[in-house]
Structure 1
C-alpha cells in the first residue's frame, strides 16, 4: 500500500526554513486554512501568542506531487551530520562540464537565499557524475545532484 509521506525538519526558525526550501524546490509555504486570508489571522483567532507563532511551518508542492515538508521549532541545535539528506536533482540528463555548470548555477542561486556551499565532488568515471554538497541556513546537509 502506498502512503503519503511528510519530511520533518527540527529547527530554530521554521518560517525561515520553510521559505528557503520553498525557494530551493519550487514549493510554496502552505496556505492558511480555509476562512483565513493569512496565517496571522488564523493564529489570532486561535489565540496563539506572538512568541509561539514561529513554532511550526510547512512547505508544499504546488502540483501536489512531492511530499509536504514540515518544520518544527526545537530547543536544541544541530550537533552532527545528518544521516539522511535530500538530493536536489538540479541537472537531470546532463553530463560532464554541462552538468557541473548547471550545478554551479543552482549552487549560486541557493547561496543567495542562505545556503552554504561545502564542497564540490567532480565526476569520477565510470560511475560518478559529480555533485555539490551544501547546507541549508541551519546547517542541514543536502546535495545538488
Structure 2
C-alpha cells in the first residue's frame, strides 16, 4: 500500500468516526477532505443554522458564527498531529491552547487546512488557515489559528 493509499484509508476512517461517533461535528456537517503527512483539510458547509442572528438588511446572507470557525481550527489542528503518530488511530490528542484570529466574516462554506509545525514526544503545534468562498466566487481567508496539543502516543 502506498503512502497516498494509506492516507486515503485514514481519511475514510476519520470521516466514518465523525459520522458515527461525534454528534457535534456530524451535526455541523464536517467532512474530512484531505489527509497527508503533517497536513489535513476539513470543511463545514454553510447553513443558516450556523449564522449570527443579527439582521443585515443589505441583501447579504448572514455570517457564520465565529465559534464554528474556531471549532474547525481546533479539530483539524489536533487531527493533523495524528498523521505524525506511528499508528494514527491509536493514542490521543487534547488541546492545551488555542488561538484564533478572525480576519473577516465568513459568508460561505468553511474550509480549514492545518499544517503541523512540530510534533514532539508529548506536545505538538499546528498552524491553521480557514477560508470561505464569497458570493462573488472569490476564495478568502476568514481566520488563522494556532493550536498546542498534548500528544498521548502509544508505545
> What's the TM-score once normalised by structure 2's chain length?
0.28
Q: Compare relative contact order (CA 8 Å, sep 6+) and give the higher one, 1 or 2.
A: 1
Q: Larger Rg: 1 or 2?
A: 1
Q: Which has the higher strand share?
A: 2
